[in-house]
Each structure stands twice: as structure tokens, then as C-alpha cells.
Structure 1
């Protein structure tokens, strides 16, 4: 059984790993060009999504509701990430 502290450690390690991917890529190519602000925003998005999922896992009893809420949170993360990256919806804060 995984404890909540192990899940929190897993969330932090996963966020760190995901943010390390563009950081390492920036060392080898000019195609990836993130600023400090990009890393901060990505970290906030990933960490808030991970912690929200952790809260759902702790507080929601029915597994069907847990799955539905977690899938909704992940879809929201992906849509926000895509909007910030390429502006799929054309909002003023789009990254293009």
C-alpha cells in the first residue's frame, strides 16, 4: 500500500522529471527555448494538478467519481498547456 507521503514524493519527483526534459533539451538544441517564466508556469500547472489529484484521492470515496474527476483535471491540464504552447483556442494569453 502506498502512503500519502509516498504519493506526495512521487508527485514532486514527477514534476521535477517533466520539467527536466525541456531543460536538458535546451542544452542540445535551439528548437527548445524556455524562459524562467515558462518553467515557473509549467511547474505551477503540473504541481497544482498533481496536488489536486492527490486531494481527490484522499477525499472522494467512490472510485467512479475519483476517476471522472481525475480525468477531468488531466484534460484541463492538457488543454491549458496546449493553449499556452500554441494557442489552439486563440485566447490573449496564448503562446504564439
Structure 2
């Protein structure tokens, strides 16, 4: 049963990472390096495993919802910062 729960955690980030990989084949506007794929994959896998831990360990629905929203929010904020530099940190390449 545990293995079956981890399959989507592994497959979902891989499917998401296929989008820029396929887009790079058809347009020059998408240009990801291997580092971009590694960082994005790491973020997605970390978020997936964090979501798995929260859904498995936390019993109270309210706490679970708050933690899941927090994980998703942190993922989106880091992704936006790395993509376009909304905060202007050196991590965005500015």
C-alpha cells in the first residue's frame, strides 16, 4: 500500500517536467538547462514528499489543510522567484 502512494509522488513531477522539455523541441522561447530541470525536479519532489508526510501523519483536518496550503504557497513563491524574480533576490538571476 505504501508503494502505491509514492508512485504519484514520483510520476507527477516527471509529467510536469515534460512540459518544458517538449516545449523546447518546438520553440526557442523556452530554454531550460539541465540545472533548471534539476532544481525544478527537486522542488516538486520535495513538495510531493512533504504533502505525503502531512497527509499521512497529521490527523486533524484543519491542521492538515493549513499545512498543505503552506507547502503549496512556499512551492509557488519559490518557483515564481526563480522564474521571474518577484522578490529581486540573487537566486532569480537578477
TM class by shorter-chain length?
Answer: over 0.9
- RMSD over equivalenced CA pairs, Å: 1.0
5+ unaligned residues in a row in structure 1: which ranges? none
How many residues were matched structurally?
94
Q: Does residue 78 of the first structure (1) align with residue 88 of the second (2)?
A: no
* 1:47-62 equivalent positions in 2, closer than 5 A: 47-62=45-60
5+ unaligned residues in a row in structure 2: which ranges? none
SS of equivalent to 1:40: helix
Listed one character per residue, the Cα deviations across residues 51-89 of structure 1 (whole Å, up to 9, x for unaligned) are 001001111110111111011000000000000000000
For 2:25, the equivalent position in structure 1 comes to: 27
Partner Cα distance (1:11, 1:79) in 2? 20
